[in-house]
Amino acid sequence: MTQRLHLVFGGELVDPQRTEFQDTKDIHVVGIFPDYAKAYDAWKAEAHRTVDSAQTRYFIAHLHRLRDEETEVSPTEELGA
């Protein structure tokens, strides 16, 4: 059975219409969760906790998609491909 790991993280954004963080050193890593339901619950709790901060956003990253050994590796944007 494939693990479906999810990372929940967030922080203050430069602009609430974009996904660029003000300071990457201040990114809040909530945790890694074994399924989407648990990740969603954690995301929702953090989103509600920071509802008064318009610049703060939390995200769910699907880590299992990053480590799928069956999928061919593609070049990343950082490498200029």
**Per-residue pLDDT tens for 5-46?**
999 999 999 998 999 999 999 999 999 999 999 999 999 999
Whether 52 is in a domain gets the answer yes
> Is 2 contained in some domain?
yes
Strand 56-62: give its sheet, edge to edge: 28-33, 6-12, 56-62
Q: Could you list the residue range(s) of the whole structural domain that residue 46 is in? A: 1-7+36-73
Residue 24 lies in a domain: no
Residue 20 lies in a domain: no
Q: Per-residue confidence at 69, pLDDT binned at 50, 70, 90? A: low
Residue 77 pLDDT > 80, yes or no? Answer: no
Is 51 contained in some domain?
Answer: yes
Whether 23 is in a domain gets the answer no
Q: How many domains does the chain have?
A: 1
Among the residues of the chain, which ranges form H helices? 36-49, 63-66
- Residue 57 CB neighbours (<10 A): 18
